[in-house]
Structure 1
Amino acid sequence: MNFGKGCHLHLIDGSAFIFRAYHALPPLTRKSDGLPIGAVAGFCNMLFRYIEDSSGPDAPTHAAVIFDKGSMTFRNEIYDLYKANRDAMPEELRPQIPLTREATRAFNIACEEKEGYEADDIIATLACQAREAGGRVTIISSDKDLMQLVGGGVEMLDAMKNKRIGTEEVEQKFGVGPDRVTDVQALAGDSVDNVPGAPGIGIKTAALLINEFGDLETLLARAGEIKQPKRRQTLIDHAEQIRVSKRLVELDCDTPLDFTLDDLEVKDPDPTVLLDFLTRMEFRTLTRRVADQAGVEAPAIPEAAAPAADAATDLPEQPPFAPDSYTCVTEIETLEAWIAEIRALGHVALDTETTGLNDMTADLVGISLATAPGRACYIPLAHKAEGGGDGLFADDTVAPGQIPLQAALDALRPVLEDPAILKIGQNMKYDAKILHRYGLRIAPIDDTMLLSYAMHGGLHGHGMDQLSERYLSHNPIPIKELIGSGKSQITFDRVPIPEATRYAAEDADITLRLWEQFRPALHRARVTTVYETLERPLIPVLARMEMSGVLVDRDTLSRMSNAFAQKMAGLEAEIHELAGETFNVGSPKQLGEILFDRMGLPGGKKGKTGAWSTPADVLEDLATEHDLPGRVLDWRQLSKLKSTYTDALQTHINPDTGRVHTSYQQTGANTGRLASSDPNLQNIPVRSEEGRRIREAFVAAPGKRLLSLDYSQIELRILAHIAGIDTLKTAFREGLDIHAMTASEMFGVEIEGMDPMIRRQAKAINFGVIYGISGFGLARNLRIPRAEAQGFIDRYFERFPGIREYMADTTAFAKEHGYVQTLFGRRINTPEINAKGPGAGFAKRAAINAPIQGTAADIIRRAMIRMEDAIADLPATMLLQVHDELIFEVDEGAEDQVIAAVREVMEGAAHPAVHLDVPLVVDAGIGANWAEAH
């Protein structure tokens, strides 16, 4: 094939694949000799998926993986400091680099690199050649430097996000079209590649200048016309540096190549060559998948002692997934045979299929079981007859050939409730609650989602599909293939039983395989204690809290909604008067036109649609100059409170219980903090009066009261302990006002008679430092000049040097080990800690905060796990957890007794595992509703 019109060229950024694989996967070594191969394994899986996905009308006709060869290129001759600030390649990655080239050739994909040139230059040259020949080009990379090539048949694909990058996306990122990207980059510079640019000019300013003057050379020639003195002088003084920067960022579309586009024609891999490479690497799962696909027998890979192998390499050979081999159990005798097998084995993987995701209202449709990899069954219980219709005309006739639901549950009850048989699930809390509503109390349990979370928190998500793809190299059957989506979606009980069997039994099979891999890996990861004391025992505690629910007064919510609507109408009238015309306040587009076109306020930025952008941070800055943006912020806050809470909460009231039953996610945050959904009760605003009022709708049942017990300043106390700040520790031990004490230390003022504003500033710094607040952020919070805010922070670190030392030590530990830990051993992985660019600051702040927030989260988890026994003989029920606060419903007259019992548990929750240098203090409140109690 001669490359031309109708051809489609894929250019894969090989370095991006390698580093993504290296940072995404846990360390892995070859069993036979201990050679690091984790990055190679990830790289091969990416290539395998790439080939699998490259089909259909959009498939490539030509493809190549392009690599960097060496670190010195012609750009170093232009500017000797180019990329001089880059970290050295990790030692364990270095021997894997040549293996990724060998892997590419084994997959029969063209593998290209050239001494003295970057991979980006080769990609640019090939893209330009293909475009000129009339073909299409897809560059598989998210590298911003390649965005200058987009347009005219060339686009990019961010494979990790499955996101296409065209001209609009480039304009959204740089504020200019692809043809002017290098002009903007030349001005803004690049800290990652050490491109100097123009000091003090960022992407936004650079785009404004280029859009105003047309191109870089015109801008530099007319720099004297720029009104802002500092900006004008910068461009005049650094003109040559800017021109050098453009030469550094501009890709070379004339790189001399010793191959042609025709040499890149797509070819199928040679199974013999590919299997030989994979076998030498000892990639068992991928070797088997390639062999299955090629219809040949997988080569044997000899077993060897593993010096430091990943969990997956310790498993025996696993059978391939074969959904058609799963059993559909339709006779009670067959079910009894499975039950006997489970009894003999002592464990079983379990999954339920239901009519919906709400475990308080969904109906049970079937149960799947797995006893060994590849051996799984599905027990249909409530599938409807096929052709029964939908909606009002649905036929609820049960499909024939199913064991009666109660008979099946009665047969399963002895093993599901047997304390000697372990029940394994993925997100087991859901299945436990479903079965609880049908009278089954399943225990003991293991949860693969939480096993992954204990080991891999911060590395990736913990949903079954993601875990299966990552650790089993298997893509599960998508649920949408069975139930559809949107208006045509059906419930699972309408899915034909043969299709349901393949899907449901596969879920149990995947769960069992993950468990077999994760369970023994806990010990190697040194997080067994975390899982056994903080994760697994919390599952039944949260399940009971969720099933209890909290009583919500619909009338209170309705009155609040009406009051919010009236207040919003008043704000709209004020906004219209300030604007001098009426417009839709809820329309960002119309608001942008009022602020930036009609009123001419500064700081406006247009999005890819050409409309002005009006996010909260823009309005907050504008609010210091004009009243209208401040009124809009107030209106938006009320609108959110109304739609998200006072209106939406009414729809979450369970018709049978009259209560709201939130669902807690143990894996909701990397630090161990819980998240909640349907509805989210963790984020009810408390800073505004209106936000606090929403808690009035959460009420106690007749004859009962609500109790709120809340840890006082727990994260500051943990910081004082971890960082060893004697002044803070003494203050906490003596029960002083910590914010007043901090203000006194920083500003040299007496605590008695202190100006409340000074205390407020100290409070903002105390809490801000925990979250790595910047001078800019503190300035915005306190509405003071940035220089003054930065001065406060500098003075704070001078007065409490241990905090800066803690931050430096924690960051260094994270960079060396790739994780940080709480005082209880919870590991929070920090894969982005060594990243460059804008994300680096966030990764550093997250690493510093994680041991503090995570320790606080671990403490309240320990308290919750102990709480049920502590209040078992008291007339009290634990209903909610909101960060550092627990909510209880108690009988009237028992409040003091319950508070005493709960406070004792909460204040002693760290013991005996950790002995803090500061006391934990718990504040308590009582009320007819949550607002009164807190």
Structure 2
Amino acid sequence: MKKGDHLFLVDGSGYIFRAYHALPPLTRKSDGLPVGAVSGFCNMLWKLVRDARDTDVGIVPTHFAVIFDYSSKTFRNELFSEYKANRSAPPDDLIPQFGLIRQATRAFDLPCIEMEGFEADDIIATYCRMACEAGADTTIVSSDKDLMQLVGASVQMYDPMKDKQIGVAEVIEKWGVPPEKMIDLQALTGDSVDNVPGVPGIGPKTAAQLLEEFGDLDTLLARASEIKQNKRRETIIANADNARVSRELVKLRNDAPLPETLDELTLRPVNGPMLISYLKAMEFTSLTRRVAETTGTDANAITAGTVTLEGFETAHGPDLDAKPAAASTNAKADTGAASGQKTPAALAERRAQAGAGQTIDLSAYRTIRDQAGLDTLIAEAYAAGVVGFDLQMTSIDPMLAEITGITLGTGAGQAGYIPAGHKAQDSDLLGSGRMDGQLSLEAALEALGPLLSDPSVLKVGHNLKAEYLLLSRHNIALEAFDDIMLMSYVLDAGSGNHTLDALAQRWLGHAATTVKDLLGSGRSGISFDRLELERATQAAGEQADLSLRLWSILKPRLVAEGLVSIYERLERPLVSTLARMESRGIAIDRQMLSRLSGELAQKAAGLEDEIYKAAGESFTIGSPKQLGDILFGKLGLPGGAKTKTGQWSTSAQVLEELAAEGHDLPRKIVDWRQLTKLKSTYTDALPGYVHPETRRVHTSYSMASTSTGRLSSTEPNLQNIPIRTAEGRKIRTAFIAEEGNRLISADYSQIELRILAHVADIPQLKAAFANGDDIHAITASEMFGVPVEGMPRDVRSRAKAINFGIVYGISAFGLANQLSIPREEAGAYIKRYFERFPGIRDYMDATKAFCRDKGYVETIFGRRAHYPDIRASNPSIRANSERAAINAPIQGSAADIIRRAMVKMDGALEAAGLGGVRMLLQVHDELVFEAAEGDVEKAIPIIRKVMEDAAMPAVALSVPLQVDARAAHNWDEAH
């Protein structure tokens, strides 16, 4: 080695544990060999080696070596027997990977150096000394603070995870002392991970202040009596020997008897065939492809090599629950109450405990301002294999939004924000004036597109449907993603909300930055694209960072609780399905809505006159206070109850009950409310939702807003248009097909009753559904002893009300109101129903007992809905939870079935040559499609089959599903 040469020394042990802790457990498909740390190590080393040969990147090394710890026992244990005594043994699934990683280093054709009795840091220190003496420069690839004592004029460090050079100035900035005083600083602060005692109560800031005042450790200890603070003075005097011992423990040896000379570390070209042979043996397909492309090697011509296994004794596969060891001074031991167990549940518990103790430094994230920085970030993402992902948008509506910036998180505490649409602080209200120091959106997406579409890199985010849709507008398909909102929803539906803020607080104990905190509110509020970049980077980086941290906790819970299939088959694939539906939208007839709005206004005005006459005076009908005073004060109607604010309650339930008792005014109020709601919510509002470019209405589906798995829609809400009233049906006529097309409505017939017959095992109902009989007539015949033939309509109607009411846990009071019969008669009907169909009562009792025991109920597919209040001491609260728990498995199973149908539908239509048939809407048990007139006849049978067979093969229902499908020019006619 000579002057001008440059030596790279990689802290291999640090790389191992960064790779192990940063990535999820991974096994080799062929035999279950744990290889997650090996995969991460290889990806990180490949990026480093590739960049090291790129003259455009910067420093180009002439010499290169990877340094490992040989064992935990070194000369330091002779100085202090408790040195590193509190470190755990390496996890069982990591043990066989140590040898594989050393073999990987040799496959890269790099020196793999370790020495018995010395730590890797001592070997690095020795090589640094020798390189300095030869006049060469050295870069230590690590962020370990123990190595910062080596930094100097010709020695620097490089943190590859943060893409940060660490020189003398950076050491001073971080620790408050220059590198030559790092030994003394660490002697004072100690190290709990390595069990270096130090001086209790002295942290880095205090240690830096003391060293600045006294110069060095020896002087400080000699003059400790001059320290003004009593407690600090006494502590340092009492622990002077500990400080001296600690100094010897943290001081690196630079005289290790090296096994290879500097000249033997000369960097050689990558041996493509040798490396690919190893990678194929490990089954690292993605990295194999990248190495082959870079080295110009035909990977197909290379056979997989042979690897030697060391310490792989677990035949059943990796130990998912072993306690991770801390092999570098920056690694923390993973502890947990279940650390002795070997189950996914124990891993989930440990990660939750570890996550709650992590600190999150918003200042650690970096802003990516140029192409070189973006290329580095992308390389880090490939090396990580799992990245946090988030888009910053100008609007919450992805059909209208533009991309302000893109965020990638490459590990806990590591994220890069790529601003692409920020406005200058002095730009005008129209948005002109682009902030300097940004890549163009086109350049950013061009570079990021391959990564976002690469199935070998997992993208982790929160509520990714909007990101998926917005990227699709830029012709980028987001592939291989996990959505932590949906993970949380599958795990804990009914047990709290699933916003990122709530999850961060619940699992990490972290109060995430809120939109109000970030952007303000009201007139003083600003949009994200007006934020200055440092603040934007912190907020955006936090989103990606939190997503990754939460993912590491929630992912093993899915395995531990047996809910992987629910997430993988019902939730995650629905993201892309719904995004496509939302982007398609549906056409509306504005003129028809305008006419309907006028009609509703006239009817409402007529009702207002009738209401004033019945009340004997004019008043503001929409005012609950004035209405309550009229009903219960002036008119003295029965059943009045006041709310906590002292006003009379005029809820819909109160008015319905009064109307059922024959009171005319409450009935007119109910009708007036319905008319005015239809007018304001639909006929007046819908035209405002028409997209300026597509000329269609694009609703947004909420995937995690109900406890049962049902979807809801917003902006506009198309789920609540009433279909049992003439006015509601008229609104549906305004949803139309484009010229030359037809709308197809496909609706499950009595799906919840069919599921009830299945889960409660009711022979009469199952036989009726199997034979295609009139289920309500059969029920009436069973209950009332009336023949099906010639059955009076009112008898069938009563049975129908009971059939549907039972599914929702209807009470005698509710049934009496619905049928306008005495409560005693309604109670007798319900009693008779349970006598004729005893399986239903058994199902209800068993479901309530199960929920009281477990805290949740399950659909036929295993989806869980939690009802913790079923154990409440308040009878009313407990009863409400019991009714919800009885209904949830039925309604939730129906929701799961239609989700399965939606996920399968596009592929089935495409396979039938009907890719032009587009699924547009989902409304409870109904799917709405748009098809060319010539495709309708062929499409309907396929749609029916997909929907009727949706439960298969996961569940074989004991009753057939039936789907009614029709085509017409508008939605109402097709229904």
What is the TM-score of this pair, normalised by structure 2?
0.64
Report the more deviating stretch, 309-318 or 292-301. Answer: 292-301
Q: 2:958 aligns with which of 912, 917, 927?
A: 917
Alignment of 1:710 onto 2:710: no
2:909 corresponding residue in structure 1: 871
Helix, strand or coil at the partner of 1:362: coil
| Post-superposition CA distance 1:480-506 (Å, at most 9, x none) | 122111232221111111111110100
Helix, strand or coil at the partner of 1:536: helix
| Post-superposition CA distance 1:173-194 (Å, at most 9, x none) | xxxxxxxxxxxxxxxxxxxxxx
For 1:301 and 1:880, the matched residues in 2 are separated by 47
Q: Aligned-pair distance for 1:553?
A: 1.3
2:706 corresponding residue in structure 1: 669
For 2:945 and 2:780, the matched residues in 1 are separated by 31
Change (3 A) 1:293 1:833: farther
| Post-superposition CA distance 1:546-570 (Å, at most 9, x none) | 0001111111111111100000111
Q: Aligned-pair distance for 1:363?
A: 1.2
For 1:622 and 1:821, the matched residues in 2 are separated by 37
Report the more deviating stretch, 348-357 or 302-311. Answer: 302-311
Change (3 A) 1:635 1:341: same
Q: 2:542 aligns with which of 506, 523, 528?
A: 506
Alignment of 1:352 onto 2:387: no
For 1:356 and 1:839, the matched residues in 2 are separated by 39
Q: Aligned-pair distance for 1:625?
A: 3.6
Q: Aligned-pair distance for 1:534?
A: 0.8
Q: Aligned-pair distance for 1:888?
A: 0.4
Q: Aligned-pair distance for 1:607?
A: 3.7
Change (3 A) 1:293 1:729: farther
Q: Say if 2:334 and 2:354, in contact at 8 Å, map to a contact too.
A: no
Q: 1:542 aligns with which of 563, 573, 578?
A: 578
Q: Aligned-pair distance for 1:577?
A: 1.9
For 1:626 and 1:315, the matched residues in 2 are separated by 57
1:577 corresponding residue in structure 2: 613
Q: Aligned-pair distance for 1:458?
A: 1.8
Q: 1:305 aligns with which of 329, 340, 360?
A: 340
Q: Aligned-pair distance for 1:642?
A: 0.7
| Post-superposition CA distance 1:413-433 (Å, at most 9, x none) | 111111222211111111111
For 2:669 and 2:351, the matched residues in 1 are separated by 59
| Post-superposition CA distance 1:81-110 (Å, at most 9, x none) | xxxxxxxxxxxxxxxxxxxxxxxxxxxxxx
Q: 2:889 aligns with which of 839, 851, 855?
A: 851
For 2:788 and 2:489, the matched residues in 1 are separated by 45
1:769 corresponding residue in structure 2: 806
Q: Aligned-pair distance for 1:299?
A: 10
**What is the 5 A alignment of 1:256-335?**
304-306=339-341, 309=346, 311-314=348-351, 320-335=359-374
Q: Aligned-pair distance for 1:298?
A: 13
| Post-superposition CA distance 1:377-396 (Å, at most 9, x none) | 1111111001335x4xx552
Helix, strand or coil at the partner of 1:521: helix
For 1:302 and 1:467, the matched residues in 2 are separated by 22
Change (3 A) 1:326 1:603: same
Alignment of 1:730 onto 2:771: no
2:423 corresponding residue in structure 1: 384
Helix, strand or coil at the partner of 1:664: strand
| Post-superposition CA distance 1:270-300 (Å, at most 9, x none) | xxxxxxxxx9xxxxxxxxxxx9999999997
| Post-superposition CA distance 1:562-581 (Å, at most 9, x none) | 10000011111111222222
Alignment of 1:782 onto 2:819: yes
Alignment of 1:463 onto 2:499: yes
For 2:725 and 2:534, the matched residues in 1 are separated by 54
Q: Say if 2:335 and 2:350, in contact at 8 Å, map to a contact too.
A: no
Q: 1:566 aligns with which of 577, 588, 602?
A: 602
Q: Aligned-pair distance for 1:312?
A: 4.3
Q: Say if 1:292 and 1:298, in contact at 8 Å, map to a contact too.
A: no
What letter is aligned with 1:856?
Answer: A
For 1:603 and 1:720, the matched residues in 2 are separated by 38
Unaligned stretches of 5+ in structure 1? Answer: 1-278, 280-290
For 1:905 and 1:608, the matched residues in 2 are separated by 51
Alignment of 1:641 onto 2:690: no
Q: Aligned-pair distance for 1:862?
A: 0.9
What letter is aligned with 1:516?
Answer: S
Helix, strand or coil at the partner of 1:537: helix
Q: 2:795 aligns with which of 758, 762, 784?
A: 758
Helix, strand or coil at the partner of 1:811: helix
Report the more deviating stretch, 592-601 or 748-757. Answer: 592-601
2:315 corresponding residue in structure 1: none
Change (3 A) 1:340 1:701: same
2:408 corresponding residue in structure 1: 369
Helix, strand or coil at the partner of 2:405: strand
Change (3 A) 1:395 1:346: closer
Q: Aligned-pair distance for 1:915?
A: 0.8
Helix, strand or coil at the partner of 1:707: strand
What letter is aligned with 2:403?
Answer: L
| Post-superposition CA distance 1:142-195 (Å, at most 9, x none) | xxxxxxxxxxxxxxxxxxxxxxxxxxxxxxxxxxxxxxxxxxxxxxxxxxxxxx
1:842 corresponding residue in structure 2: 880
* Percent of pairs with identical residues: 52
What letter is aligned with 2:402?
Answer: D
2:47 corresponding residue in structure 1: none
| Post-superposition CA distance 1:428-462 (Å, at most 9, x none) | 11111122222221112111111111111221211
Q: Aligned-pair distance for 1:693?
A: 1.4
What letter is aligned with 1:518?
Answer: L
Q: 1:700 aligns with which of 717, 737, 749?
A: 737
**What is the 5 A alignment of 1:13-162?**
none
Report the more deviating stretch, 585-594 or 884-893. Answer: 585-594
| Post-superposition CA distance 1:498-522 (Å, at most 9, x none) | 1111101000000011111111221
For 2:398 and 2:943, the matched residues in 1 are separated by 29
For 2:616 and 2:383, the matched residues in 1 are separated by 80
Aligned residue-pair number: 642
What letter is aligned with 1:347?
Answer: V
Q: 1:892 aligns with which of 922, 927, 933?
A: 933
1:815 corresponding residue in structure 2: 852
1:486 corresponding residue in structure 2: 522
Helix, strand or coil at the partner of 1:321: coil
| Post-superposition CA distance 1:806-855 (Å, at most 9, x none) | 11111111122222211111122222221221110111111111111111
For 1:607 and 1:857, the matched residues in 2 are separated by 35
Q: Aligned-pair distance for 1:600?
A: 2.5
What is the TM-score of this pair, normalised by structure 1?
0.67
Q: 1:592 aligns with which of 620, 624, 628?
A: 628
For 1:369 and 1:301, the matched residues in 2 are separated by 26
For 1:918 and 1:405, the matched residues in 2 are separated by 54
Change (3 A) 1:301 1:722: closer
Q: Which has the larger radius of gyration?
A: 2
For 1:556 and 1:351, the matched residues in 2 are separated by 41
For 2:206 and 2:674, the matched residues in 1 are separated by 59
Q: Say if 1:552 and 1:659, in contact at 8 Å, map to a contact too.
A: yes
For 2:464 and 2:417, the matched residues in 1 are separated by 17
What letter is aligned with 1:483?
Answer: L
Report the RMSD for the aligned CA atoms in angstroms.
Answer: 2.2
1:926 corresponding residue in structure 2: 967
Q: Aligned-pair distance for 1:403?
A: 1.0
Change (3 A) 1:774 1:310: farther
Q: Say if 2:721 and 2:728, in contact at 8 Å, map to a contact too.
A: yes
For 1:715 and 1:475, the matched residues in 2 are separated by 41
Unaligned stretches of 5+ in structure 2? Answer: 1-191, 193-202, 208-231, 233-329
Helix, strand or coil at the partner of 2:934: coil
For 1:845 and 1:683, the matched residues in 2 are separated by 22
2:489 corresponding residue in structure 1: 453
1:337 corresponding residue in structure 2: 376
Q: Aligned-pair distance for 1:316?
A: 9.4
For 2:332 and 2:351, the matched residues in 1 are separated by 18
